[in-house]
Amino acid sequence: MNKKNSLLVLLTITTLLFMNAPGNSQSTVTIQTTAGNIKIKLYDETPKHKANFLKLVEQGYYNGLLFHRVIAAFMIQTGDPNSRDARPGQSLGNGGPNYTIPAEINSALFHKKGAVAAARRSDEVNPLKESSGSQFYIVQGRVYNTAQLNSFVESNKHVPFTPEEINAYTTIGGVPHLDNAYTVFGEVIEGLEIIDAIAAVKTDQRNRPVTDVKIIKAFISE
C-alpha cells in the first residue's frame, strides 16, 4: 500500500472513530419538511445508528424523500429512497441502501411521543431485529392511563414500566407495545406539532399521504 492510500485509510478510520465516539458534538439534525421543521437529538447510547444517520444526512440521502407511511395515533415513517419522485399511488416502503444495522435496543430508550426509531423487517425473516439502513419512524402515539399500562404488563406484552415511562405514556403518550423490539436512536426536541400535522393528513389504503409530505432537506444543526 502506498503512502497516499495509507493516509486515506487512516483518515477514514479516524472519521469513523470520531463519529462513533461518545459525546460526539454532531448529535442534532434538523429535518425541513413541507409541513414544517423537526429537530432531532441523536443518542450516544446507539452509536452505530447515530453514525449511520449522520452519514446519510451529510450525503443528502434524505433530501426529497416522502413520508410514505403515516398512521394517526401511531407514527410517521420515511427514508425509502424509492419515494423520491415517486408517482401517485406507487407502492413504497421496500427501499434502502442495501445494508442493515445491528440492533442497539436499549430498555432505557422507549417509544414516547417524539421518539425516533429505525424501521426493520419482521421477526420471521429478521430474528436479530437488525434495522433498515435508512428507513425510520417518528412516534406520535396516544396517551394511556395507568390501568391500560398495567394491562400490558399483565398480558406479558411489556416488562414493568419505569416511573419515567409511566410519566411519559400518561402525559405526552407514545407507543409502548413497540418497546424493546425496535432500536430507538433519538428524539424530537423541536417540532412535535409538526408530527401531529403530518399524522393528521389524509392517506390511501397503503397509509401513504394522498398529498405528498416531503423532506425538503435534512442537515446537521446545533
The pLDDT value recorded for residue 2 is 52
Question: Distance between CA atoms of 212 and 197, rounded to whole angstroms?
Answer: 13
Q: What percent of the chain has pLDDT over 90?
A: 86
**pLDDT on residue 25:** 54
Supply the range of the domain harboring residue 188: 27-221
* Beta-bridge partners for 116: 138, 186
Total domains in the fold of the chain: 1
Residue 222, pLDDT score: 74
Question: Each residue of 28-87: pLDDT tens digit?
Answer: 999 999 999 999 999 999 999 999 999 999 999 999 999 999 999 999 999 999 999 999
Q: What are phi and psi of 162, to 5 degrees?
A: -80, 160
pLDDT for position 18: 38
**68 near 92, Cβ under 8 Å?**
yes
> Which residue type occupies 182?
Y
Is residue 193 pLDDT above 70, yes or no?
yes
Residue 22: the pLDDT is 43
Instruction: Return d(Cα 80, Cα 65) in angstroms, integer.
Output: 7
The answer as to whether 13 is a domain residue is no
Answer yes or no: are the C-beta atoms of 199 and 49 closer than 8 Å. Answer: no
| pLDDT, tens digit, 9 for 90 and up, residues 77-123 | 999 999 999 999 899 999 999 999 999 999 999 999 999 999 999 99
Phi, psi of 37 (to 5 degrees): -95, 140
Strands (E), the chain: 28-33, 36-42, 67-71, 75-78, 100-101, 115-120, 131-139, 184-190, 215-221
**Other CB atoms within 10 A of residue 101 CB:** 20
Q: Does the residue 130 lie in any domain?
A: yes
CA distances from 70 to 14, 93, 115, 191, 204 (A): 38, 11, 15, 17, 10
Instruction: Tell me what pLDDT residue 6 has.
Output: 43
- State the average pLDDT over residues 129-149: 98
pLDDT at 165 over 90: yes
pLDDT of residue 110: 98
Residues 170-180 have pLDDT tens digits of 999 999 999 99
d(CA 210, CA 147): 36
Q: What is the pLDDT of residue 10?
A: 37
CATH code, domain carrying 69: 2.40.100.10
DSSP tag of 35? T
The pLDDT score that the predictor gives to residue 17 is 40
